[in-house]
Amino acid sequence: MDQFGIKKLLESFDGKSGRVIVVVDYGNVDKWKESLRWKVGIKELAQIVKSFSKGSQFLRRFYYGSDYGPKDKSEILSEWCRAILEKARMNRFEVMTKRVKYIYNSANKYGFDKKCDLDVEMAVDLIKERDNYDTIILFSGDGDLMYAIRYLKSEYNKECFIFGARGHVGREIYDGLREGFVKDILYAEDFEYRLNRERRF
């Protein structure tokens, strides 16, 4: 999609932006840098999100784990995690979070794996808030939410756009596009001029 196509797409949301919920799985978005070779900025992401959703802040939802380190009783967020969550709040996202788990793994050079899946929280929130939106914009290439997206389409006729990076879009999402419960897939590469936090004007 070229910049003209993006402009037309965003303009198409002008009349319905108050009824659009945006779900940002930032843990997934952050991994896009592996193939993009650039990093999606939170400020830049918020500007795109507000082009889709101009309604209440609770409809612009940012999901990311709170990392307190490997000590179970620690109450101090890691500096980088605190910075991410604070920046999301500053940019008027409704931040949804839970504690990151540290799981012992002798095969990992650090001695543990980190885990914080928020798929259940995202699915429940989409269903719980169904009366407040007509369209979903999902910033995640993870196919795990497709069961909930299919349900919301079949039972409540909710329209869903997936925003992902090429190489980071699950097969289940392409299946959803073919079956019709995913409206379209938008690719971060096409939006680099809007999303790259190090872009030059």
Q: Where residue 190 sits, what CATH number does that domain have?
A: 3.40.50.1010
Q: Is residue 200 part of a domain?
A: no
- Structural domains of the chain, count: 1
Q: Is residue 103 part of a domain?
A: no
Q: Is residue 138 part of a domain?
A: yes
pLDDT average per 10 residues of sequence, the chain (201 residues):
89 89 95 90 94 92 92 88 96 94 77 83 96 96 94 97 93 96 96 82 47
Nearest C-alpha neighbor of 140 from the set 51, 28, 52, 17: 28
For residues 144 and 28, the answer to whether their CB atoms sit within 8 Å is no
pLDDT attached to residue 40: 93
Q: Is residue 43 part of a domain?
A: yes
Q: Is residue 74 part of a domain?
A: no
Beta strand 159-164 with 184-187 is parallel
Q: Is residue 82 part of a domain?
A: no
Q: Is residue 151 part of a domain?
A: yes
pLDDT attached to residue 53: 93
Q: Which two tokens stand for residue 26?
A: 């930032």
Angle among Cα 185, 55, 25 to the nearest 5 degrees reads 45
- What does the buried/exposed string (b/e) look like for 54-90 if buried means 16 or more CB atoms within 10 Å of the residue's CB? bbeeebbbbbbbbbbeeeeeeeebeeebeebbebbee
For residues 140 and 126, the answer to whether their CB atoms sit within 8 Å is no
pLDDT attached to residue 200: 53
Against a cut of 0.75, is the pTM above it? yes
pLDDT attached to residue 102: 83
> Which pLDDT tens digit goes with each residue over 68-98?
988 888 888 999 999 999 999 999 999 999 9
Q: Is residue 178 part of a domain?
A: yes
pLDDT attached to residue 187: 95
Domain that holds residue 130: 3-63+117-195
